[in-house]
Structure 1
């Protein structure tokens, strides 16, 4: 590969940027289908095996915890060997974890289930880290839009996954596998397919070319102004991490216990799949518009919008009667939308605040913290509901999201003082 030909040609850079977005977007269709399995039936499998609601949040906690370790590894792999190596490995390992979940349900092994969910979490981490790949060759006014493009395509798989619960359940039963494991059959095929798409087609490596382009620009800047230095913005990295961590905790906690809450009120599995489908659709489908808004209105304003939207979601979920499908769909849709606002504004701020030479490693580290926060939210959600109620969990989650507002006011003031 002639890297310098890309460095010298703006036209080739634009072409590679578009090609990278296309390949990553195709992989995200498969990746979205893979992540939906754990969200939709993970808690129900644990509830069935353990016979209690108190630990129903453990599957989400486990695959989110697994995604933390995977986020670290994928970030380091990407930093050293490129996005292609890191992302394809992460997806394929996630697919192997899904296969382990299927086997665990067949032999009724709770230990194998928990171990497999940890491995399955690699797919979740990779699905999120793929959003960074589209930003490597994007300029500062394209970054949020580039992030959103890859997330929009995640919608197709993510919405299809929960709505195929019954179909995959019947297929699983027809081959002698418990019906609740059906979505994990889809997850295994989807994650492995996503990994193969990236491994085969993500060439040339966008991260390496982006590094060379930035190195050339830095030489030019230093020649023009020797005082110029390229350091990461630590305050920006911190605030970006806080935005994504808070939105992840709130979203995962409420989302995890919604299927169990619905099950207690007599809703069928197909209804659970419908609500989760709306939720995941709202997590990803608005991304194209969110990216444009983040680039136009700014990272700060959209992060505040995230906090307000999550607050509204929490209160509607708390006040909705357990048998009201309409209000549950509205609440879970707002929950997904608030997460979407937070993830895209936080991701764009993180990319803005990092240097290309260490960007993938920093992104991986921040995603570890996001995953750990999600694991905590998932684990605690079951305990809160068992000790109190689903409305209490929803109100606490909504109130927690309000912290985004003072954080962003502080960041905005600090930047204004610095300027």
Structure 2
């Protein structure tokens, strides 16, 4: 028995409750993610005894986030958002537990396997933004999605500050200090799993399908494969722009962001305390650009249009490449300005692009299409992160910025095509 369908006022109340639960889950989950990210590379270096191993930990986590996106989306498609999100954070609990064991055993292969599964927490946090849009009215869809993105700010700010208490906890438990941070991640993810299972009721996706809220055009049946789902998204001008905006924005953001600390440190792999503090400040400004203004970006996507917001994001990404790419290593103010613009451009592309992807397919196909889009986004980020180092070594940070700017060109071409298409794009 599914019970009677909620009335319009009841549906609004359900959506508000859904946003509260999702925002709390993403905030707490983000705390666990950033605690782990803060020390993951350091732990890999400590276990392997090599600076080169530090990058392997980040790569394993990014690939894990990308490759687990489709299975989690399929779980949501079959059983609802509650099942998909709780499964993702449950996998992250397992991954963090394996990392703790790897730290105790000083095993690099085990550590990389754990960090790969740990990446499911990032994928779950990203998919939560789509759950926020399931019951949203079309005119409020961008705002609903952006509110959950904004909640990530809490974990992103607080997480790195828990690395030191995590170290103390690790020592108290007889573990390597860096392994203690992942004990905190286990606790955070476990609470999220319980919270989602108990509180995300009714399930927003299953209810949306019952009510056909905001349903799109007719399309393939439920549980279509990822390839078919991507083709369905790509078939519409708005869908093409949405996928391109999400993938390009994320790749450009990662490519520039991960190389900035190396550039500021002089490319030597080490820096003094003062330099590290300045680097931390620049990255904090970047994170503020990514998340802090996402509700404004969501409002803009709803009011000015998805296409206009994507275009603004593309301009900001280009401007960020110019400002940051021309900055010397010690120009913290210029680099901070560039990375703030980079984060803001990413926010525009992610929020508006994700909304376009959601609107391009019917409710029956959305989870698979969304998961496949996040897979492409993660793979793009992995490629951008992998090529950043060789580009920096070959031509300096300026070359990294030039290549990043070139990545924006396909976004401009797809945007222009979507604007020309008949009934192609709202805004």
TM-score range, shorter chain: 0.7 to 0.9
Tell me which residue corresponds to 1:266: 272
Question: How far has the Cα of 1:388 moved from its partner?
Answer: 4.3
1:4 equivalent in alignment to 2:10: no
Where do residues 125-204 of structure 1 align in structure 2 (5 Å cutoff)? 125-173=123-171, 175-181=173-179, 183-204=181-202
- Find the aligned partners of 1:189 and 1:387 in 2 and give their Cα distance: 43
Look up the match of 1:223: none
Does structure 2 retain, via aligned residues, the 8 Å contact 1:44–1:259? no
1:31 aligns with 2:29: yes
SS at match of 1:364: helix
Q: In the alignment, which residue of structure 2 is the partner of 1:257?
A: 259
Cα pair 2:88 2:121 within 8 Å, conserved:
yes
Counterparts of 1:322-337 in structure 2 under 5 Å? 322-337=329-344
Structure 1's unaligned 5+ residue stretches are 219-227
CA drift of 1:372 comes to: 1.4
Distance 1:302 1:19, change over 3 A: same
Matched-pair contact (CA < 8 Å) for 1:43–1:259: no
Where structure 2 has 5 or more consecutive residues not aligned to the other structure, the ranges are 220-231
Partner of 2:244: 242
Q: Deviations over 1:184-242 (max 9, x none)?
A: 34333222222221111101111111111118x98xxxxxxxxx962466223232111
TM-score (norm 2): 0.86
Q: 1:330 to 1:183 in 2, by over 3 A?
A: farther
Please state how far the C-alpha of 1:349 moved relative to its aligned partner: 0.4
Q: CA deviation at 1:411?
A: 1.0
When the two structures are superposed, what TM-score results if normalisation uses the length of structure 1? Answer: 0.87
Q: Among residues 341, 348, 355, which one is paired with 1:348 in the alignment?
A: 355
Structure 2 residue corresponding to 1:108, chosen from 106, 109, 116: 106
Any idea what SS the aligned residue of 1:230 has? coil
The residue aligned with 1:366 is 373
Moved segments of 4+, more than 6 Å: none
2:321 equivalent to 1:321 = no
- CA deviation profile, 1:300-356 (whole Å, cap 9, x unmatched): 111111122122223333333323443333333222211111100101101111101
Larger RCO: Structure 1 or Structure 2 (Cα < 8 Å, ≥ 6 residues apart)?
Answer: 1
Instruction: Quote the RMSD (CA, aligned, Å).
Output: 2.8
- Quote the Cα distance in structure 2 between the aligned partners of 1:329 and 1:183: 28
Residue number in structure 2 paired with 1:206: 204
